[in-house]
Structure 1
């Protein structure tokens, strides 16, 4: 059996794990990352692309922000389309000059992978049968099989950045963790295409046929979403059917200027809200999707993972360089205070913009009144903008 020793073992080579590894590396700390998938598979995941200003700043702090700043699209606002009419939410004006940056999660991952590879740091891809234990002792460890060879990795701490279905949260005794979950009765059917975006800013559209979102990854690559029943199968949606349905849900101007093309990828993503408490178990710390999931409506998933990583990296650096465990002791509480605010916002925006056909008519009236209030109130729009760009860290 091959053995490794490191200061921080990171399980999961998605953006959360890679960003944590990069921040710790720049502080002189040693890390090993274990990932059950191949690097090609990790890069093939199609995910979000709206970065809060704090997330973009953290990429700069990690020394990997050059390409993001050169190729990312700064968005000063977005639009809500209701009843065929668009209403612009001016983020810069409403949120004290703060904005968001459109830069695909795949590109974030690519930049972080490249930096880790250039630094010669250890990332074990295609690690099979990953198990962790001992995180309630001073010597937590992981066991896995890499290219047919059994391995044992011991560490001072384990960072569980391995997603909703990962091994880290699943390794916590049931009595030590509390789970909170809301599953929505619909999903998002997404299509990625090499076509110019229909608008320079995102359009969130509420329509009698269902919610839709016009987003983008670059000036030449678009990402569109349709609200569909949670039972929908992507195989039942041809490209033509998708484009026709999207056009039917857009306002006349957007529908008329929509450029269609063959899909690069189509998928159906279920919507759920999920939180695990606490986020620390001895020397195991959960971060990102391993600890919480939000509906994609508010673009908070990647950004919440980044804020977790910010808190955790600071806490670990304080432990090693300053001899203080205050950050580690307060990690879970600090993260969860921000997580629940983001959960609230994502739930609220989802509830505001989607159709809930199974709800009584009274609920539909309340939803319409809430939407009317948001569109007519500067104070409501200021709160929307403040949450959209990201609450302070």
Structure 2
């Protein structure tokens, strides 16, 4: 009897030992995974943080003149590394006017071969990684907190934009006036000396819009202003529930867009040159050019065709320029050729009065389909994507409407 009992105990002992071994193996594996790789994870995070720091240029090695920072850029608390930036170096005062990818000094230094007649030197040209400034652009000395909208439409702190030569150059056109420690904007422009508000009402009146309001009861909400100056036209549209995107290059008038942005007016530093503007097709209901000094006839009308791409069906283009009214031989020639071009583009004159003409774009493809074969400009290829814009060259072709429009 005793022998049988011992055999039974041995049978129960074997499974117990197996279970104990399994538990022990599990504990070893668990503890190993908990303690062993912990240091490896920390080292990996530190190494990864170092790679990130070097890849985006946070390290100042060999670049001390750009910016210095005594504090560590990667924050560290209780031995844990956080990849969020803690601080950035600040560029020195020499770079207070630096505009990334629009630095004409870079163009001269790298001797880029650009066609000045096509305004390529005003387009984006970004430096190679080794020539980039990985630091914060400092504000001008004495910079003040900007004046808030809507007051900022009419006045800004002079110290925030230390460029007052435009006030003297355009004093007869009411662009801007220096008044003590402020720059005041009376609302004038090259073509509307007596105020953008009166000029905007005049455009609405030409189109027979109700109460001379360009918004046209909500049918016009987005406007593209080419060669905007200090963007008073766009600034005065905001009270009519219209958002204007103002465009101007950093040209002989320097950075006019800086005034627009300081005033709180949407604006973009760029030019109608060789690349499509960074907006998808059908982005605007209204385009505007007031003495913008653009040769719309160049390269088979490619710049006007870019506006056509941006305008929605039935969109308007208001053109205030000597070509629309002057009687000298050169202006008459330009007007005749421009009229022929827009007619081939199927645009029609919606209104023409005094110094301004307003064209309207067709609502459908019907006119395009009725043109004679070989008419220029041609329709764009069927595989052309009118919404592809970043770095895409302009093409001298008409963008037809898709079947779903």
TM-score interval, smaller chain: under 0.3
**Structure having the higher Rg:** 2
Q: TM-score, normalised by structure 1?
A: 0.24
Q: TM-score, normalised by structure 2?
A: 0.23
Bigger RCO (CA 8 Å, 6+ sep): 1
- Structure number with the higher strand fraction is 1
